[in-house]
Chain A
Amino acid sequence: MMKNKKYSWLSPTLAIIFGFLLWELIAFLVKKPIIPSPSLVIYSLCTKYAAKVGLCLLASLGRVFAGVALAALGGIICAMAAVFSDKMEKTIYPIIYLLHPIPKIALLPVVLLLFGLGESPKIFLIFLICFFQFALSARDAMKAVPESNRVVFKSFGSSNLQEMWHLFLPASIPALLGGLRLSLGTAFSILFFTETFGTQIGMGAFILDAWMRVSYVEMYGGIIVLAVAGGSIFGFTDIIQKHYTHE
Chain B
Amino acid sequence: MLSLTNVSFTYPNSSLPVLQNISFEVSGVCAVLGPSGCGKSTMIKLCAGILTPDAGNVLLYGKPINPKEINVGLIPQDGGLLPWLTVEENTALGQKIKHQNNKAKVSQVLERLGILALKDCYPGQISGGQKQRVTVARALCMDPSLLLMDEPFSALDANTREEAQDFLREITKHNYNITTLIVTHSVEEAAVLGTNILVMKKGRIIKILKNPLKGYNEPRRQNCFYELCDSLRCTMKDKQDVI
Instruction: Give chain A's interface residues, CB within 8 Å of chain B.
Output: 146-149, 151-158, 162, 166-167, 170-171, 243-247
- B6: interface (CB < 8 Å): no
A171 to B80, CA, bound (A): 13
Query: Across the interface, do A148 and B84 meet the contact criterion of CB distance under 8 Å?
Result: no
Q: How many residues of chain B get a CB closer than 8 Å to chain A's CBs? A: 31
7 A–B contacts, CB within 8 A, in A order: A149-B80, A151-B76, A151-B80, A153-B97, A171-B84, A243-B84, A247-B125
Are the CB atoms of A246 and B122 closer together than 8 Å? yes
Interface of B is mostly: loop
Complex CA distance for A146 and B123, rounded to whole angstroms: 15
- Minimum CB–CB distance for B122 against chain A, Å: 3
Give chain A's interface secondary structure class.
helix
Q: Which residue of A lies closest to B95 (CB)?
A: A156
Contact A162 B78 (CB under 8 A): no
Which residues of B have CB within 8 Å of A154? 48-50, 67
A157 close to B84 (CB less than 8 A): no
Are A167 and B82 in contact, with the CB atoms below 8 A? yes
Bound-complex Cα distance A148 to B44 (A): 12
Contact at A166–B96, with CB atoms within 8 Å? yes
Chain A residues near B84 (CB-CB < 8 A): 170-171, 243-246
B70, closest chain A residue (CB): A157
Interface residues of B in 5-57 (CB under 8 A from A): 45, 48-50
Docked Cα-Cα span, A154 to B98, in Å, equals: 11
Q: How far is the CA of A243 from the CA of B72 in the complex (A)?
A: 30
Known contacts A157-B66, A166-B97, A246-B84: does B125 contact A152 (CB below 8 Å)? no
Known contacts A166-B97, A167-B82, A170-B84, A157 near B69 by CB under 8 Å: yes
When distances are taken between beta carbons in the complex, the residues of chain A under 8 Å from B83 are 244-246
Q: Is the CB of B78 within 8 A of A156?
A: no
| B2 interface residue per 8 A CB criterion | no
Given contacts A157-B72, A157-B97, 19 further A-B pairs with CB under 8 A are A146-B78, A148-B78, A151-B45, A151-B80, A152-B138, A154-B48, A154-B67, A155-B73, A156-B67, A156-B72, A156-B93, A156-B97, A157-B67, A157-B69, A157-B98, A166-B96, A170-B84, A246-B124, A246-B125
